[in-house]
Amino acid sequence: MAEIVSLRQAIATHVHDGDVVAMEGFTHLIPFAAAHEIIRQGRRDLTLIRMTPDLIYDQLIGAGCARKLVFSWGGNPGVGSLHRFRDAVEHGWPAPLELEEHSHAAMAAAFHAGAAGLPFATLRGYAGSDLRRVNDNIRTVTCPFTGEELAAVPAHRPDVGIIHAQRADRAGNVLVEGIVGVQKETVLASRRSIVTVEEVVDDLAAPSPNSVVLPAWAIDAVAVAPRGAAPSYAHGYYARDNAFYLAWDGISRDREGFEAWLREHVLDRESAGAEV
Amino acid sequence: MTEPTANDTDRSLDVPAATPTETMTVAAARALRNDDVCFVGIGAPSAACNLARLTHAPDIVLIYESGTLQTRPDVLPLSIGDGELCETALTTVPVVEMFQYWLQGGRISKGFLGGAQIDRFANINTTVIGDYDRPKVRLPGGGGAPEIAGSCHEVLITARHSSRVFVETVDFVTSLGHGSGPGDRAAAGLVTAGPVLVVTDLCLMEPDAETRELVVTSLHAGVTREQVTEATGWPVRFAARVGTTPAPSAEELGVLRDLHDRTERAHAGA
């Protein structure tokens, strides 16, 4: 059952050194505030799962939190490279980064399988791709009915799943709107889950009976983190800060510039949201 | 009429001539039809797809991998999941549904991709330059492309023409084109056509009907065979009949420039 706690407490309780952590949000609702709290609390040796590592994992990788990355597209969307990710892969700075590389279709299927309690996902995928050659977790399975050979990947079963959402009610039920990505699957596939929200309200006011609502009893912790998805966006609350995504290319290009940014904007800052 | 007329000369005083990139975007847009359902890659493909929608293909269905289905953005998105895409979409579906029902389910007629390296058989590399374990350049990776290349009925590719991009053999096959020749797609278990057209800023290339190797089928206005040969990393062949790509019309250029102006203003974060 979801406990409504501070972000600091949520991360301290549920994210441990060496954990497998999935922080999802497909371009939208990326849980930056939670990532910054993980950096502040100095977590190490994390295996980070995410379809699009984006700036959020560039920051975690550059800050030295990650040992391994499981992903499918590691760029700054529409801008170019993730320089901290590249520095780790190309030069082992600040630490070597093990890669397990997939395609989007396989990553989405792996979250789906994890949420469904299955050991693996199957898809018609990776045809003729060298990804099969470099990732031993891409295998084949034969359909028992037709004999067709399909790709198989292990289900994602993170120790912790973290997402950001628009709002929760006081019981801890959560509403997600807009581009919903694989957020629901991430929470349901994970052993423990944290949802940061823009606000906690008396009435969730879900706009449709088909709205994406995660029940409180499927979540471990809810923490209020206003603007907790910035510089990505929260549909209905604030827009994507595209100018920051463009600026990140310069900020992150060299180690000194990145470290100065990290000190000023993450390490020397207080945890987002009020203490509960 | 192929000769320039007095009118064309006059008009060029008002409208600056098309840049090579604009010519590429317009040529790519023309490859799309009004009845296409198109899975849109970010960057150059996104500009071409939206230009098509704003000119000759108003009913084209554009789909981005963020789950935004039948979207009509007023400005080009910076990412594949900008709010603009969701707000102007017919509906937005979960990413699992996007890849499983809509893409793998076979409902998408065209996939539109770019790439850091493209080889003579239209295989695409967006993963690494150099060796995978010790890369010279670590690129973003496959994203949706490996399955877009496999599941869309046809694939269009657009990229700037240079010998660094158009290479004899890609360092890494992220997304399969025609493998190393006829029969390779079928051997990989695919029934789709794969790449049918490559649009660059110099020319159009299409796979040869027999060898599946990319050959030049049309040169953009003012481009020579020598330019294309020099900018291609393999001894590129020319089709028996090489056409001339009609220059962008004033309307196409006007719409494209307006789109880019609106986009630039929006992304500056005013």
Of the partner residues A74, A105, A182, the one whose CB lies closest to the CB of residue B141: A74
**Average per-residue pLDDT for chain B:** 93
Q: Is B252 on the interface with A (CB under 8 A)?
A: no
pTM of the predicted protein model: 0.95
Q: Is B182 on the interface with A (CB under 8 A)?
A: no
pLDDT of residue B3: 43
d(CA B28, CA B195): 13
Using alpha carbons, list the distances in angstroms from residue B58 to A116, A227, B36, B84. 40, 37, 10, 18
**B-proximal residues of A, 186-215, CB under 8 Å:** none
Tell me how many degrees the CA angle B108-A111-A98 measures, rounded to the nearest 5: 105
What pLDDT band is residue A150 in, cutting at 50, 70 and 90?
A: very high
Q: Are strands B89-92 and B68-71 parallel, antiparallel or unpaired?
A: antiparallel
User: Are B83 and A178 an interchain contact pair (Cβ–Cβ within 8 Å)?
Assistant: yes
Task: Indicate if the pLDDT at residue A133 is higher than 50.
Answer: yes
Could you tell me if A225 and A8 are in contact, meaning their C-beta atoms sit under 8 angstroms apart?
Answer: no
Nearest alpha carbon to residue A218 among A183, A251, A179, A255 = A183
Q: Is A1 exposed, middle or buried, given 0-12, 13-18 or 19+ CB atoms closer than 10 A?
A: exposed
Condensed to tens digits (0 to 9), the pLDDT of residues B185-205 reads 999 999 999 999 999 999 999
Smallest CA–CA distance, residue B86 to chain A, in Å, is 7
Residue B65: active-site member? yes
Mean pLDDT value of segment A95-117? 98
Condensed to tens digits (0 to 9), the pLDDT of residues A168-209 reads 999 999 999 999 999 999 999 999 999 999 999 999 999 999
Residue appearing with tokens 């399955």: B147
d(CA A122, CA A139): 9
pLDDT of residue B10: 45
**Domains of chain B and CATH, by start:** 8-263 (3.40.1080.10)
Structure tokens at B131: 């060796």
- Which helix or strand (DSSP H or E) is residue B164 part of? none
Task: Indicate if the pLDDT at residue A254 is higher than 70.
Answer: yes
Which residue blocks in chain B are alpha helix, DSSP H? 6-14, 20-30, 44-54, 83-87, 95-97, 145-151, 184-187, 225-230, 250-267
What pLDDT band is residue A10 in, cutting at 50, 70 and 90?
A: very high
3-state secondary structure labels for all residues of B91-137 = EECCHHHHHHHHHCCCCCCEEEECCCEEECCCCEECCEEECCCCEEE
For chain B, which residues score pLDDT lower than 50? 1-12, 270
**Domains of chain A and CATH, by start:** 3-102+156-267 (3.40.1080.10)
CA dihedral A118, A121, A122, A123 (to 10 degrees): 140
**Average per-residue pLDDT for chain A:** 96
Residue of B nearest to A30 (CA): B81
User: Are B268 and A131 an interchain contact pair (Cβ–Cβ within 8 Å)?
Assistant: no
pLDDT of residue B205: 98
pLDDT of residue B162: 98
Condensed to tens digits (0 to 9), the pLDDT of residues A37-78 reads 999 999 999 999 999 999 999 999 999 999 999 999 999 998
Amino acid letter, residue B12: S
pLDDT of residue A78: 86
ipTM of the complex as predicted: 0.95
What pLDDT band is residue A269 in, cutting at 50, 70 and 90?
A: confident
Mean pLDDT value of segment A264-271? 90
Which residues, at least 6 apart from A73, have a Cβ–Cβ distance to it below 8 Å? A51, A52, A53, A104, B140, B141, B142, B143, B144
Nearest alpha carbon to residue A103 among A66, A132, A141 = A132
Helix (H, G, I), strand (E, B) or coil at A48: strand
